[in-house]
């Protein structure tokens, strides 16, 4: 596949340097996530988790636009049966579970807006640093479905009340709201200061005791063992709902 074709399909790039593993994803439509890119991202996280040279993982996206626009509407429009729908939404489950299972800390670098699945990625990281441009929104209800797969990880991070409000009114929240609710651990004014902050923390963690970090991370995620089943049950719900006339009409309006 040519470089141009790769860019159009999206890409995931993994690098390791000085104990810091970086996973970067990109897609020309707002860093959205079609199923192939979700599978590649989950695989990259699993591989980085097993790579002894990487003592900490930085998850980021490319460009100066959104951090992640969530699910690919183009692919949602092509779903034709519930099983296909479940497979698509299971892609988000695989990424969340890979981030949870990685025996090292994951730092999310959130440079811009996060929508739907993008909010899920931020929540699934162990520590998210964002800029003051990183507004967020759960818009799934507006297109006739709901944030079923990413819901557990977001609710775990920000609490039931904040998650209920975020998923019910599907309004934009500003980055300060993200910081107040715990989705973002800290905010930076610019991309330059964001990169500096991510770099400082990543270097600090790369120098820490790997076994201690692995044990601490395991304690962070206690009580989520049932997600190995729950997230795929949730994917089946979304896979059915995306076929409804209401969802079809909303997705068509957004892609036309």
pLDDT tens digits, residue range 55-99?
A: 999 999 999 999 999 999 999 999 999 999 999 999 999 999 999
Burial class (CB in 10 A: 0-12, 13-18, 19+), 53: exposed
For residue 211, give every residue at least 6 positions away whose Cβ sits within 8 Å of its Cβ, in sequence order, or none: none
What is the tally of structural domains in the chain? Answer: 1
Domain span including residue 48: 3-255
Calculate mean pLDDT across residues 149-178: 98
Q: What is the pLDDT of residue 249?
A: 93
pTM for this model (two decimals): 0.95
Tell me the C-alpha distance between 230 and 232, whole Å.
Answer: 6
Find the CATH number of the domain harbouring 49.
3.90.226.10
Which tens digits make up the pLDDT trace of 192-246? Answer: 999 999 999 999 999 999 999 999 999 999 999 999 999 999 999 999 999 999 9
- Cβ atoms 53, 196 nearer than 8 A: no
Higher pLDDT, 213 or 6: 213
Strands 11-17, 127-131: pairing is unpaired
């Amino acid at each position: 596949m040519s470089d141009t074709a790769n860019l159009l399909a999206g890409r995931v790039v993994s690098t390791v340097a000085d104990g810091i593993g970086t996973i970067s994803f990109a897609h020309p439509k707002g860093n959205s996530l079609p199923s192939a890119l979700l599978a590649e991202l989950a695989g990259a996280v699993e591989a980085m988790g097993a790579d002894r040279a990487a003592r900490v993982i930085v998850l980021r996206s490319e460009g100066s636009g959104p951090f992640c626009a969530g699910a690919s509407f183009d692919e949602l429009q092509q779903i034709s049966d519930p099983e296909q729908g479940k497979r698509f939404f299971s892609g988000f489950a695989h990424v969340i579970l890979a981030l949870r299972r990685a025996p090292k800390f994951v730092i999310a670098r959130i440079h811009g807006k996060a929508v739907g699945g993008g909010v899920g990625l931020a929540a699934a990281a162990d520590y998210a640093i964002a800029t003051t441009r990183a507004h967020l929104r759960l818009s799934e209800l507006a297109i006739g479905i709901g944030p079923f797969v990413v819901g557990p990880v977001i609710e775990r991070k920000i609490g039931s009340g904040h998650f209920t409000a975020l998923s019910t009114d599907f309004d934009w929240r500003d980055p300060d709201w993200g910081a107040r609710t715990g989705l973002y651990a800290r905010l930076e004014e610019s991309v330059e200061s964001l990169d500096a902050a991510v770099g400082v923390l990543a270097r600090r963690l790369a120098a820490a005791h790997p076994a201690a970090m692995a044990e601490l991370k395991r304690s962070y995620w206690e009580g989520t063992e049932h997600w190995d089943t729950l997230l795929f049950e949730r994917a089946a719900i979304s896979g059915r709902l995306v076929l409804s006339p209401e969802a079809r009409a909303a997705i068509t309006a957004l892609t036309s």
